[in-house]
Structure formats: structure tokens, C-alpha cells
Amino acid sequence: MTCYPNNIEIRAKPYFDGKGDTIKTTRKILSFLCAVIMAVCPIAAGDNILYNSVSASAAAAQSNTAPVIALKAAYGNKLEIKVNNLSSFGTGTVFKVYVNGKYSKQYSLAGLKTANQINIVDDTKLHLKTSTTYNIRVDAVSGSRTVSSNTLSCKTDSASYYNIYKGAILYKCVGGKMVRSGKVVSAYVIAPCTLCSTRGVLSPGKSITANNAGCALVNGGTYKGYYIKVCSTMSRTTQRNYKVKTVVDYAASMNGGRYVWGGASYRATDCSGLTMQAYKKVGIDITHSVRVQATKGKAVSLSNIQAGDVIVCNNYGHVAMYIGNGQIVHAMNSYYGIRIQPISKINYCGRINTIRRIL
């Protein structure tokens, strides 16, 4: 028997009786067999039996597949959840999201592929609180079949942090109205913020949609106390990014300072004193010792280096901080002082022993 895209062919091998006559299988028997096979396994033009059986198996596997979910990012007022096996689901699948056992929202497969993540954020039904653990479940619904994911426990950040971009207009709230302060953000910063209404009414404990959140109150940093309208001049970010930028900005601000052996003062320090001071700005003590700093955090490769990483070199005798964009800052010596330089200059300080990621 041979299967073709639009027909089945059966061949019967002739045999001979003892008298030398050829005995052939009758056409009626062959026709009957083909009719039975075609009835059991219908074949459309352009298809074949093997293709249909594989498709059926794949469809069955899809209908029994559970979503595999993982935390992508956590903010003070938002959770981003990734579904790692989206390709396992058919086009008609709907993904229903539950937070602490209560239905929150749903996505079509196409919608989830476009969003590239499940966004759990304040709306009229849900308000996320800071430093709070939420249990997330995602159900994949296809026809009458529902398959549930693992339950994922996710904790929100202790505050909501936002990127605030250069040129953002700063406001003051006067008599329940937003009034331009006459100032704008002069350089990109990250700051903790609280969403609020355009009348300055803060949102914690309430749905931001119900509270008409259109502004954010800056709670820390250079622009503390000012309001910014929620638009393209700001976006959410993580607490880690906030801490890294705080560390890097402080370290870079020492550029041009003096090298002082054993020193640990602002713009008057040695190499390990500089990195120690920078990390103290976010409450992390890495001690005033190159050798001890070489054991902190985790080791990373030069090709994977990120802003905030510390580079230990010269047989554990020197340390510098990578500040991004191909640059380092370090307290070099009494002649050169504290300088920002291209990372390639680290080679003049001796062989790299280790690169440590503290955050």
C-alpha cells in the first residue's frame, strides 16, 4: 500500500498455482479495501495520511499544554510576566490571568505575541501595592479545554521608579491645579515617584484609572517635590536600575578630584575608597579594600560588562568602575588624580583579575 496526496494505491502480488497459471486479486476486492481505508482516513486533495496524523497529534498536544510563566520585571506598581512557550498554542487560544485567585484580564494569542508579556498593572479592578507578594496564574483556554500554568509568586518593588528624560516640564500643585514651575529637567535621571491625579491627589490605595492619574510626584533626588505629567518624558524602570544609576552618577561626579592614598572622602580618595563611597549611596558596604571588593557580588566577563561593575586588576592592587558607554572612572595616582577614561586604558593598570557585579 502507498499513500499519495490525493489517493491510496494498493498492489497485490500475483502468485502461481502448481499448473503455471497466474491468479490475480479481483478488482472488486481491491475496490472494497480502498473504500474502507478512505472512509476511515479521509484524504483531502493536496493532503496525505501522514500529514493528517501528525497534525492531529500536534493539536492534541497543544490542547493539553500548560502555560509556562516567569517573572520578567517587577516594579512598585506593575508586574511583567513572560509566557515562555507561546509557540505551543493554537491561534484560537485565550490566556486568562488571575491575581491572588481573582480574574484580572485576558489576552488572545495574537495580542500576547504583540505585547510580548502580560502586564499586570493598576486598573479599575486591581491596585498593586509596593513590597507586596502576589500569586499569578495563567489559564490557557482552547474551546472547552482549560489548562492552568504554575502559580508564580512575585513581589513588587518597595517604591515605583521612573526614568525622567531631559526636557520634561516640571510642575507645582497650587490650589489643586498643576502650574508650570518655569523649570525643566536638565539631564536624564531616575527617581522614585508616586502617581497622582492632575489635581495632586495621590493614588496609593486606589485605582489610578478611577483616580484619573495623569501626573507623578517626584519623591527623591534633584527634582523632589515637583510634579511631571505622565507622557513620553517619563517611563517605568526597576529599583535595580535606579540603584545602578545612583552609584554610577556619584562615582562619575568625582572626576577631576584628588588621589589620596588611604582616603575615602568625596573627590579626595584612593581607588577602593571611590568605589566604596559610590556603593554606600545605595546602602551597600563593599569595604575599603581592593582584595575584599574582588570577592563581592558575582564575577562577569569583560564582554558582558555593565554600568556599575567594578574591575579589579594589577594583581589585586587597583580597582575601577565601569560607568557605561565604554568608559571607566578610577582614582589613578597622585599625578593623574581621579579620571574618566576609555575602558581600554585599564590595560595600562595591569592585567584584569576579575570583574564583579555588585547589583
pLDDT digit string, tens, across residues 221-266: 899 999 998 887 888 888 999 999 999 999 999 999 999 999 999 9
Per-residue pLDDT tens over the stretch 34-71: 555 555 555 444 444 444 444 444 444 445 789 999 99
Same domain assignment for residues 85 and 132: yes
Domain annotation covers residue 52:
yes
Expressed as residue numbers, the domain containing 83 is 64-155
Domain annotation covers residue 243:
no
Domain annotation covers residue 279:
yes
Same domain assignment for residues 261 and 345: yes
Same domain assignment for residues 57 and 68: no
Same domain assignment for residues 269 and 208: no
pLDDT of amino acid 260:
97
Domain annotation covers residue 190:
yes
Same domain assignment for residues 29 and 126: no
Domain annotation covers residue 23:
yes
Spans of the chain below 70 pLDDT: 1-63, 122-126, 200-213
The model scores a pTM over 0.75? no
Same domain assignment for residues 69 and 147: yes
Same domain assignment for residues 149 and 88: yes
Q: Residue 78 is part of a domain; what is its CATH number?
A: 2.60.40.10
Q: Which residues pair with 268 in a beta bridge?
A: 258, 265
Same domain assignment for residues 253 and 333: yes
Q: Which residues pair with 80 in a beta bridge?
A: 73, 119
Domain annotation covers residue 244:
no
User: Which of 217, 237, 257 is the last residue before a domain boundary?
Assistant: 237
Domain annotation covers residue 242:
no
Same domain assignment for residues 121 and 174: no
User: Which of 123, 155, 187 is the last residue before a domain boundary?
Assistant: 155
Domain annotation covers residue 269:
yes
pLDDT of amino acid 128:
80
User: Which of 208, 237, 266 is the last residue before a domain boundary?
Assistant: 237
pLDDT of amino acid 53:
43
Same domain assignment for residues 169 and 141: no
Domains: count for the chain: 4
Same domain assignment for residues 20 and 99: no
Same domain assignment for residues 125 and 106: yes
